[in-house]
């Protein structure tokens, strides 16, 4: 087709737009030599792409001739379809990248082979890496691989090879390698030190190069560590990944040896490293003796040797499984942890200060009260001195005493607090004064509160609706705040909808299976021996009775055996967290699981009640009725269940106390409270952190004292940190995917009660 | 009586059982025995509770009578009953009576599996009375100083119906067991599983990995017993991946995703 004809056709297609002549010429010229069919194909797609994005349309025309070397004309519409989808979901850049770079991957997919998405691999990878790391690491999606030490970021799909197993292995390698950086201490031990590392790189003419060299040196350390720790994985990686990477490897500078050393065997690694390192350093690296500080020292030395005129960006690169070092995210994650641990420390310290006798405490705070007109201790006036020598030698002398001084008064720390402080010191290298002084502040405030309260500090409840008062546990004063919370019982307004029907349709197969399973549980039949009446003779009893008679004793008349159904006699309350964090999928999954549970319970015959809880502040804790214990599972209940919606906060203590109250009057062999939640207890006021956890724990202890078993089903990823403390190790279960909740909940109930 | 003595002889442990103490459990148990106090062992499955009892019995040179509790266990099964032998009614001691009569150690394994009405029979034995009423014979047996009663259970089971009554629980000196720390566990696997130091270390590493998976839905991680069994399969010539699959992974879960993840751990470690 002649260029002029092509251009005319193009202008007609895009009218009334008038595109720039130069652009049109540039993209259409190459088509002059193409066949009629290709020109038609190209022009045929213009009306589809042009209205979406002009720029994308030019890109399409520019790339089509090249793409047609690998794509057939029939495959072009699908190719464009994906590009436009990407444009609409991820923007122009993503669509352009797909057209330009990802064509090969796209072709692999067309062949039915190719990439492995994280959504499929993740189900195995998460427990894998958690097991390997013996830590609750998380996996998240990002284009580049990196870790902030709490989460490992990986691409949402791996297309290293056409073989799905090799792609899975690649995922494993990425995760394990990133974990390797964490254990091998590549980011140094504390946020402050990580920040020093950032400064260290900034000190170079090319921070990027310094960071790449450091990362490669650290990767060699990680590789050596993994060779020892996980030899199986390294063998598999050598066979399926490293060998391929070696084939594709281009040595771009002498420094590339550093990168290449990561993917070769031990002998070759030694040979490669001797090109760059002296023999001492080389030996330290290949024997696993090297430290991050060695890597820093060598980075410094290598950077000095580089001539100014060299293009430093190109001197050394990293493999995709090594990812990148994003030190700022590591610092942030570390800071968050430091803050959390700091607050915990400050709470513990405040508790300890309060446990001192009033005299001691008053003495401690005397100076301040002299200075200040107000009664509350000013945080800034508390001096905190941790024996500075100790801070430096924390690692060498773990048994050295820890001295904390407030207002020149030395304080002895109880063992628990001392152990926690030492862990903190070990992890972060220092005890920040702000946490200690805030502890003193808290203690001072509470002391005053204790003096004043007891009588005057109860909040007025709204008139007309008196509510029920519950005490709340204050761990800092090791006592209850009397009548602290007001709980209002409400009934949810029934809402008619197709939710129940839809849920039952959705889980049709599961419901049938559950009914069957629960029916089996109900009819737990067994033979009861030694009965006065029964279906059959109990031979053991008969023999025994005859023997007794022979021995001169009166023989027993309990000689029959009877088939008896086990009386389950269980009463259970389901407490549903209705805080606003349960919005969306979580709320839906919670309700779906309740529907399935209710269906199963109807078959089983255990008495059960369903209640929701939420509220805001201590004066308005709300307890919503969905189904009372003795109520039948009728339409009204179903409608109330449908109307469970996220509301406000999670003040768990009063809800558990009220549930305990309800169950206390119920006569049953076993009584249970099963809480369904998505996170920590928390309210709008100071009901947070350790205070909330300790109050909930106390409410649970009260339930246990009343011979009621509390159990919790949580979907909070961080549950381990506090659940074990709150519920006890065997009394909670974590579900990693909220979508599994409807399936898992009846299973959990079954395991709990059989 | 001769026959009973013979029965008792069978329970005497003559060969020193291998047990590696992880704390002061042996001293505590010996002190408890000296003072006539009953023992409660709690801990996860396969961590060495039963082996500890065997070791203690060997050390005290006392017979160890073990009863594995189940929900059909009756009081007669523990105390004893009349049996007819050649037309004559003969009284036969149950394991508990046998132990009391002869000053042996009676070990009720997994006591929570027994019905609560059965377990109350041990109450008078487990406090300072130290006596066992044998109602059918109108006897009240006083336990000799050597007699010791010991029970065990696994607090990790999540069933609410299987728990010890406080009135039972509060009679015992309790020893808490857990999986030994890595070095000790390696030594145990090395010795009992007949494997090399390197394999033992890797097996222990693997077990620690599985034990950290509670948050991912694994009820209990691999026990020391499973590690030993894996080692034994290995030393009989089974290849390492097969042995781990059969003895370490499959017993832990039926969930295909978890099994997959566990298998990946094995292939990474070995």
| Whole-number CA gyration radius for chain A | 35
CB A682 within 8 A of CB A695: no
B208 and B132 in a common domain: no
Cα gap A211→A207, rounded to integer Å:
6
Which residues does chain B have within 8 Å of residue A136's beta carbon, measured at their own beta carbons? 215
Distance from CA of B146 to the nearest CA of A (A): 31
HEC string for A84-119: HHHHHHHCHHHHHHHHHCCHHHHHHHHCCCCCEEHH
The pLDDT, as a whole number, for residue A303 is 83
Structure tokens at A367: 């100076």
pLDDT band at A406 (very low <50, low <70, confident <90, very high): low
Distance from CA of B131 to the nearest CA of A (A): 23
The pLDDT, as a whole number, for residue A590 is 81
How many CB atoms lie under 10 A from the CB of residue A265?
11
CB A595 within 8 A of CB A585: no
How many CB atoms lie under 10 A from the CB of residue A158?
24
B195 and B250 in a common domain: yes
CB A128 within 8 A of CB B213: no
Of all residues in chain A, what percent carry a pLDDT higher than 70?
A: 85
The pLDDT, as a whole number, for residue A383 is 41
B205 and B78 in a common domain: no
What are the two backbone dihedrals, phi and then psi, of residue A165, each rounded to the nearest 5 degrees? -65, -40
**Residue spans of alpha helices (H) in B35-104:** 49-60, 75-79, 95-102
At residue B133, the 3 state secondary structure works out as strand
The pLDDT, as a whole number, for residue A663 is 87
How would you label B12-37 residue by residue, b for 16+ Cβ within 10 Å and e otherwise? ebeeebebeebeebbeebeebbeebb
CB contact under 8 A, A672 and B160: yes
Structure tokens at A214: 């450091």
> Which residues 197-216 in chain B show a CB within 8 A of chain A?
205, 208-210, 212-216
Between A95-104, A479-488, A615-624, B253-262, the lowest mean confidence (pLDDT) is in A95-104
At residue A250, the 3 state secondary structure works out as coil
Domain with CATH 3.40.50.410 in chain A: 570-753
Q: Least CB-CB distance to B216: which of A130, A176, A546?
A: A130
Residue ending a domain, among B122, B154, B176, is B176
Between A106-115, A256-265, A367-376, A628-637, the lowest mean confidence (pLDDT) is in A367-376
How far, in Å, are A668, A743, B42, B151 from residue B157 at the CA level?
21, 21, 11, 16
CB contact under 8 A, A550 and B260: no
Whether chain A has a CB inside 8 Å of the CB on B182: the answer is: no
B83 and B135 in a common domain: yes
> Which residues 464-503 in chain A show a CB within 8 A of chain B?
none
Question: pLDDT at residue A412 above 80?
Answer: no
What are the two backbone dihedrals, phi and then psi, of residue A93, each rounded to the nearest 5 degrees? -60, -45
B57 and B140 in a common domain: yes
Question: pLDDT at residue A91 above 90?
Answer: no
Longest dimension (CA), chain B: 67
Query: What is the arithmetic mean of pLDDT over A483-497?
Result: 81
CB contact set of A579 (below 8 Å; sequence gap of 6+):
A614, A646, A647, A648, A649, A650, A678, A679, A682
> Which residues 214-233 in chain A show a CB within 8 A of chain B?
229-233
Instruction: Give, to the nearest 10 degrees, the angle between helix B224-235 and helix B182-193.
Output: 40
- State CA B207 to chain mean position distance: 20
Q: Least CB-CB distance to B82: which of A547, A730, A736?
A: A547
Between A2-11, A33-42, A291-300, A352-361, the lowest mean confidence (pLDDT) is in A352-361
Question: pLDDT at residue A112 above 50?
Answer: no
**Residue with the larger pLDDT of the pair A619 and A230:** A230
Question: pLDDT at residue A37 above 50?
Answer: yes
Query: What is the arithmetic mean of pLDDT over A307-325?
Result: 73
Which residues does chain A have within 8 Å of residue B218's beta carbon, measured at their own beta carbons? 127
Of all residues in chain B, the one with the smallest CA distance to A751 is B159
Question: pLDDT at residue A606 above 70?
Answer: yes
B97 and B134 in a common domain: yes
Query: What is the arithmetic mean of pLDDT over A20-26?
Result: 83
Query: What is the arithmetic mean of pLDDT over A666-682?
Result: 83
- State CA A523 to chain mean position distance: 40
Q: Please provide the size of chain B in residues.
A: 270
Which residues does chain B have within 8 Å of residue A132's beta carbon, measured at their own beta carbons? 209, 265, 268
Q: Least CB-CB distance to B160: which of A133, A231, A670?
A: A670
Q: Least CB-CB distance to A176: which of B159, B266, B268?
A: B268
Residue ending a domain, among B151, B176, B201, is B176
Cα gap A389→A403, rounded to integer Å:
10
Whether chain B has a CB inside 8 Å of the CB on A137: the answer is: no
Which residues does chain A have within 8 Å of residue B210's beta carbon, measured at their own beta carbons? 131
CB contact under 8 A, A731 and B158: yes
Whether chain A has a CB inside 8 Å of the CB on B181: the answer is: no
At residue B98, the 3 state secondary structure works out as helix
Q: Compute the mean pLDDT over every residue in chain A, rounded to the nearest whole number.
A: 79
Cα gap A375→A444, rounded to integer Å:
9
Whether chain A has a CB inside 8 Å of the CB on B66: the answer is: no
Distance from CA of B74 to the nearest CA of A (A): 10
Of all residues in chain A, the one with the smallest CA distance to B161 is A753
Between A27-41, A339-353, B94-108, B192-206, the lowest mean confidence (pLDDT) is in A339-353
The DSSP secondary-structure symbol of A261 reads G
Residue to mutate among A128, A228, A541, with most B CBs inside 10 A, is A128
Question: pLDDT at residue A372 above 70?
Answer: no
Query: What is the arithmetic mean of pLDDT over A333-338?
Result: 84
- In this structure, the dihedral spanned by the alpha carbons of residues A703, A705, A709 and A712, taken in order and rounded to 10 degrees, is 50
CB contact under 8 A, A128 and B266: no
Distance from CA of A659 to the nearest CA of B (A): 17
Cα gap A265→A553, rounded to integer Å:
84
Beta strands in A277-407 (DSSP E): 384-386, 404-406
pLDDT band at A387 (very low <50, low <70, confident <90, very high): very low
Q: Least CB-CB distance to A128: which of B155, B217, B261?
A: B261
B188 and B136 in a common domain: no
The pLDDT, as a whole number, for residue B160 is 64
At residue B80, the 3 state secondary structure works out as strand
CB A120 within 8 A of CB B195: no
Which residues does chain A have within 8 Å of residue B80's beta carbon, measured at their own beta carbons? none
Residue to mutate among B72, B76, B82, with most A CBs inside 10 A, is B82
The pLDDT, as a whole number, for residue A38 is 82
Q: Give kind and range of the element (H or E) at residue A138.
A: strand A138-141
CB contact under 8 A, A126 and B216: yes
> Which residues 159-178 in chain A show a CB within 8 A of chain B?
172, 176
CB contact under 8 A, A544 and B76: yes
The pLDDT, as a whole number, for residue A461 is 36
* pLDDT tens digits along A440-458: 776 666 666 555 443 333 3
B141 and B46 in a common domain: yes
CB B215 within 8 A of CB A734: yes
Question: pLDDT at residue A618 above 50?
Answer: yes
* pLDDT tens digits along A640-663: 888 888 888 888 888 999 998 888
User: Which of B140, B151, B173 lies closest to B34 in space, CA to CA?
Assistant: B173
How far, in Å, are A571, A587, A714, B56 from residue A723 at the CA level?
23, 21, 9, 36
Q: Please provide the size of chain A in residues.
A: 754
CB contact set of A407 (below 8 Å; sequence gap of 6+):
A364, A365, A366, A367, A368, A381, A382, A383
B111 and B219 in a common domain: no
How many CB atoms lie under 10 A from the CB of residue A81?
11
Whether chain B has a CB inside 8 Å of the CB on A693: the answer is: no
> Which residues 641-680 in chain A show a CB within 8 A of chain B?
669-670, 672
Q: Least CB-CB distance to A172: which of B91, B136, B264?
A: B264
How many CB atoms lie under 10 A from the CB of residue B181?
11
Which residues does chain B have within 8 Å of residue A709's beta carbon, measured at their own beta carbons? 160
B254 and B121 in a common domain: no
The pLDDT, as a whole number, for residue A382 is 41
- State the total domains in chain B: 2
User: Which of B12, B21, B8 lies closest to B187 in space, CA to CA?
Assistant: B21
Residue ending a domain, among B125, B141, B176, is B176
Which residues does chain A have within 8 Å of residue B83's beta carbon, measured at their own beta carbons? 543-544, 547
Whether chain B has a CB inside 8 Å of the CB on A521: the answer is: no
Q: What is the CATH number of the domain that holds B26?
A: 3.40.50.300
CB contact under 8 A, B82 and A731: no
The DSSP secondary-structure symbol of A682 reads B
The pLDDT, as a whole number, for residue B50 is 93
The pLDDT, as a whole number, for residue A472 is 84
How far, in Å, are A348, A573, B219 from residue A622 at the CA level?
30, 16, 34
Whether chain A has a CB inside 8 Å of the CB on B220: the answer is: no
B206 and B137 in a common domain: no
**Residue with the larger pLDDT of the pair A60 and A311:** A60
Distance from CA of A352 to the nearest CA of B (A): 29
CATH top-level class of A570-753: alpha beta
Most confident of A197-206, A616-625, B227-236, B253-262: B227-236
Per-residue pLDDT of chain B (270 residues; tens, 9 = 90+): 566 666 788 899 999 999 999 899 999 999 999 999 999 999 988 999 999 999 999 999 999 999 999 877 888 889 988 877 777 778 889 999 999 999 999 999 988 888 777 888 889 999 889 999 998 888 999 999 999 999 998 887 656 667 777 788 889 999 999 999 999 999 999 999 999 999 999 999 999 999 888 766 677 889 999 999 999 999 999 999 999 999 999 999 887 878 889 999 999 999
B225 and B242 in a common domain: yes
pLDDT band at A391 (very low <50, low <70, confident <90, very high): very low
The pLDDT, as a whole number, for residue A83 is 83
Q: Is there a cis peptide before residue B197, judged by omega within 30 degrees of 0?
A: no
pLDDT band at A533 (very low <50, low <70, confident <90, very high): confident
Query: What is the arithmetic mean of pLDDT over A383-412?
Result: 52
Question: pLDDT at residue A307 above 90?
Answer: no
Whether chain A has a CB inside 8 Å of the CB on B269: the answer is: yes
Which residues does chain B have within 8 Å of residue A230's beta carbon, measured at their own beta carbons? 268-269
The pLDDT, as a whole number, for residue A45 is 85
Question: How many beta-carbon contacts under 8 Å exist across A and B?
Answer: 126
CB contact under 8 A, B269 and A125: no
Q: Can you give the residue range of the structural domain that contains B189?
A: 182-269
Whether chain B has a CB inside 8 Å of the CB on A701: the answer is: no
Given phi > 0 = left and psi -120 to 50 = alpha, else beta, which region is A166? alpha
How many CB atoms lie under 10 A from the CB of residue A482?
14
User: Which of A623, A713, A688 lies closest to A661 in space, CA to CA?
Assistant: A623
């Amino acid at each position: 087709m002649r260029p002029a004809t092509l251009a005319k056709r193009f202008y007609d297609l895009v009218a009334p737009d008038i595109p720039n002549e130069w652009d049109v010429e540039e993209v259409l010229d190459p088509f002059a030599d193409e066949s009629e069919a290709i020109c038609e194909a190209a022009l045929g797609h213009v009306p589809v792409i042009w209205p979406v994005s002009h720029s994308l349309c030019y890109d399409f025309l520019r790339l089509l001739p090249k793409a047609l070397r690998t794509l057939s004309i029939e495959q072009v519409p699908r190719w464009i379809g994906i590009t436009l989808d990407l444009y609409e979901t991820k923007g122009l850049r993503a669509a352009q990248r797909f057209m330009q770079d990802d064509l090969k991957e796209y072709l692999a997919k067309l062949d039915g082979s190719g990439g492995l998405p994280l959504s499929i691999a993740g189900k195995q990878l998460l427990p894998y890496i958690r097991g390997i790391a013996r830590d609750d690491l998380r996996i998240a999606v990002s284009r580049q691989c990196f870790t902030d030490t709490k989460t490992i970021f990986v691409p949402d799909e791996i297309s290293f090879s056409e073989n799905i197993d090799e792609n899975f292995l690649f995922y494993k390698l990425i995760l394990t390698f990133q974990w390797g950086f964490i254990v091998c201490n590549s980011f140094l031990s504390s946020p402050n030190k990580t920040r020093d590392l950032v400064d260290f790189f900034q000190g170079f003419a090319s921070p990027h190069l310094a960071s790449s060299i450091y990362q490669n040196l650290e990767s060699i350390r990680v590789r050596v560590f993994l060779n020892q720790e996980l030899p199986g994985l390294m063998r598999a990686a050598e066979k399926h990944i490293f060998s391929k990477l070696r084939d594709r490897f281009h040595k771009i500078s002498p420094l590339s040896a550093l990168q290449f050393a990561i993917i070769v065997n031990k002998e070759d690694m030694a040979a490669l490293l001797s090109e760059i390192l002296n023999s001492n350093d080389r030996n330290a690296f290949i024997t696993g003796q090297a430290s991050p500080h060695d890597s820093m020292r060598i980075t410094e030395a290598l950077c000095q040797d580089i001539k100014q005129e060299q293009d430093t960006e190109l001197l050394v690169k990293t493999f995709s499984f090594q990812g990148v070092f994003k030190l700022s995210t590591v610092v942030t994650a570390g800071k968050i942890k430091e803050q959390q641990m700091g607050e915990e420390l400050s709470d513990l310290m405040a508790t300890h200060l309060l446990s001192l006798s009033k005299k001691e405490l008053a003495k401690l705070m005397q100076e301040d009260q002299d200075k200040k007109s107000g009664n509350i201790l000013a945080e800034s006036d508390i001096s905190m001195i941790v024996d500075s020598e100790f801070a430096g030698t924390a690692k060498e002398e773990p048994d050295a005493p820890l001295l904390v001084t407030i207002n020149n008064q030395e304080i002895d720390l109880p063992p628990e607090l001392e152990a926690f402080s030492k862990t903190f010191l070990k992890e972060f290298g220092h005890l920040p004064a702000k946490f200690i002084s805030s502890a003193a502040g808290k203690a001072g405030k509470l002391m005053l509160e204790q003096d004043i309260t007891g009588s005057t500090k109860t909040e007025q409840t709204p008139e007309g609706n008196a509510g029920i008062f519950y005490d709340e546990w204050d761990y800092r004063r090791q006592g209850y705040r009397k009548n602290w919370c007001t709980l209002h019982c409400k009934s949810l307004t029934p809402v008619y909808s197709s939710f129940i029907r839809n849920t039952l349709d959705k889980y049709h197969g599961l419901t049938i299976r559950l009914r069957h399973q629960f029916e089996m549980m109900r009819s737990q039949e067994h033979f009861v021996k030694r009965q006065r009446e029964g279906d059959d003779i109990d031979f053991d009893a008969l023999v025994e009775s005859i023997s007794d008679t022979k021995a001169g004793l009166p023989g027993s008349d309990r000689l029959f055996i009877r088939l008896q159904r086990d009386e389950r006699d269980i009463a259970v309350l389901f407490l549903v967290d209705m805080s606003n964090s349960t919005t969306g999928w979580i709320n839906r999954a919670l309700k779906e699981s309740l529907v399935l549970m209710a269906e199963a319970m109807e078959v089983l015959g255990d008495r059960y009640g369903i209640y929701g809880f939420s509220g805001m502040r201590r004066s308005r804790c709300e307890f919503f009725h969905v189904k009372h214990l003795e109520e039948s599972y009728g339409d009204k209940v179903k409608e109330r269940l449908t109307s469970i919606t996220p509301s406000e906060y999670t003040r768990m203590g009063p809800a558990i106390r009220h549930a305990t109250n309800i169950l206390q009057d119920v006569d049953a062999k076993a009584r249970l409270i099963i809480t369904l939640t998505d996170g920590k207890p928390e309210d709008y006021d100071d009901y947070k952190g350790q205070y909330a956890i300790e109050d909930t724990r106390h409410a649970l202890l009260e339930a246990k004292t009343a011979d009621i078993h509390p159990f919790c089903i949580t979907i909070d990823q961080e549950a381990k940190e506090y659940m074990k403390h709150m519920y006890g190790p065997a009394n909670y279960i974590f579900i990693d995917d909220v979508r599994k909740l409807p399936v898992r909940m009846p299973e959990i109930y079954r395991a709990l009660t059989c | 009586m001769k026959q009973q003595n013979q029965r008792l002889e069978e329970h005497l442990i003559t060969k020193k059982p291998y047990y590696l103490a992880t704390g002061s459990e042996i001293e505590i148990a010996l002190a408890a025995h000296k003072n006539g106090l009953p023992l409660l062992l709690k801990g996860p499955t396969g961590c060495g509770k039963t082996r500890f009892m065997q070791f203690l019995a060997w050390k005290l040179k006392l017979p160890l009578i073990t009863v594995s509790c189940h929900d059909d266990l009756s009081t007669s099964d523990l105390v004893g009953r009349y049996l007819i032998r050649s037309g004559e009614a003969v009284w036969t001691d149950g394991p508990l009576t046998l132990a009391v009569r002869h000053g042996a150690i009676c070990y009720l394994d997994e006591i929570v599996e027994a019905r609560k009405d059965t377990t109350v029979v041990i109450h008078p034995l487990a406090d300072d009375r130290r006596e066992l009423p044998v109602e059918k014979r109108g006897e009240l047996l006083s336990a000799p100083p050597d007699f010791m009663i010991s029970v065990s259970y696994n607090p990790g089971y999540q069933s609410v119906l299987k728990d010890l009554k406080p009135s039972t629980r509060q009679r015992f000196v309790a020893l808490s067991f857990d999986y030994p720390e890595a070095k000790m566990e390696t030594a145990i696997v090395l010795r009992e599983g007949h494997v090399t130091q390197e394999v033992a270390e890797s097996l222990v590493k693997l077990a620690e990995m599985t034990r950290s998976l509670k948050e991912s839905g694994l009820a209990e991680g691999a026990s020391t017993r499973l590690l030993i069994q894996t080692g034994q399969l290995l030393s009989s010539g089974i290849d390492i991946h097969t042995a781990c699959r059969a003895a370490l992974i499959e017993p832990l879960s039926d969930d295909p995703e978890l099994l997959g993840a566990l298998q990946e751990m094995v292939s990474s470690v070995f």
